[in-house]
A = this chain, B = another copy of it.
Amino acid sequence: MSNQNLLEELVEIARSFASYGKVADYIPALSDQNPDDLAICIYSIENESFYAGDHLKKFTLQSISKVITLALVLMDNGEEEVFSKVGMEPTGDPFNSIAKLETNKPSKPLNPMINAGALAVTNMIKGDTVVEKWDRLIEFISHLTGQKVTYNEDVAYSELQTANLNRSLCYFMKQHGVITGNVEDLLVLYTKQCAVEMNCVDLAKIGAVFANDGLDPESGKQLISRDVARICKTFMVTCGMYNSSGEFAIKVGIPAKSGVSGGIMGSVPGRCGIGIFGPALDEVGNSFAGVKLLEGLSAKYSWSIF
């Protein structure tokens, strides 16, 4: 069977699991998604791509944006500065939990993949104004995909309205000196970042840059430094898939980051990037069918890094 046919077959098998999941419903734009959607693109470091499902359908990055912003911020500020504000350790607590911020001394988010840590990271994007910071971020993402990327204003606006838990995390961190500056500005920036929109081909392309040690397979440019690409892939393994990161590492073993929109970005070191969109989520917030699809692919092609 050709790779293309195999991919299509794996997608159809995985799609049947979508019915066990549930689309995110905390804002209308997400709850309107079709739970049966499932699309994938595999983008090799030799700059080839394969796809199956409705690969042109756009979705917002949500938490997937955390790892991309982390790459920019690490290049902006260096490891030492970044990790003085946010830790490197996985956590057994939910992604939006505040308890550890209170019990850890000094107060510091455990890692950049939980909300508190991601907010602290976004707060470190260089720029004199929110506009300047945003321009730098969206330009960075556009370079990674190789084309102009935008964000979904409705989603960003809705999320800003319902962002009280993130507000709470921000003010808690501000109290403890983890973040500085205006909290509302930070939330505007963060919700726009989460609302960046693309299709699974674009996402696979970004995954391929990480897989290729930061080198763009298309242009040959070093878009992310080798060390930063490695650090990001490490976080994708230790805490990229919410509270089932450990299980995902065992069953799939591919560095990956998911978002509540149903997107997953995978990055198989030295091989390929993967972009998936499947909005029906499992109970921890990962695409149900997407995870199943990655399990199938990893087993088939022996992509586990372990």
Contacts and interface: CB of A to CB of B under 8 A. Distances in A.
A185 to B, nearest CB: 15
A71 interface: no
B92 A93 contact: yes
Given A171-B167, A244-B89, A238 B249 contact: yes
A91 B97 CA distance: 13
B111 A100 contact: no
A87 interface: yes
Interface in A96-125: 97-100, 102-103, 110-111
Contacts of A172: 98, 164-165, 168
The secondary structure that dominates the A interface is: helix
A234 interface: yes
A286 interface: no
A164 B171 CA distance: 5
A281 to B, nearest CB: 18
A117 to B, nearest CB: 11
Contacts of A103: 99, 103
Contacts of A66: none
A305 interface: yes
A98 B100 contact: no
B88 A91 contact: no
A240 B247 CA distance: 15
A77 interface: no
A15 interface: no
A31 interface: no
Interface in A229-279: 230-231, 233-235, 237-239, 243-247, 249-250, 253, 255, 269
A175 interface: yes
A48 to B, nearest CB: 23
Given A90-B91, A165-B172, A269-B306, A237 B249 contact: yes
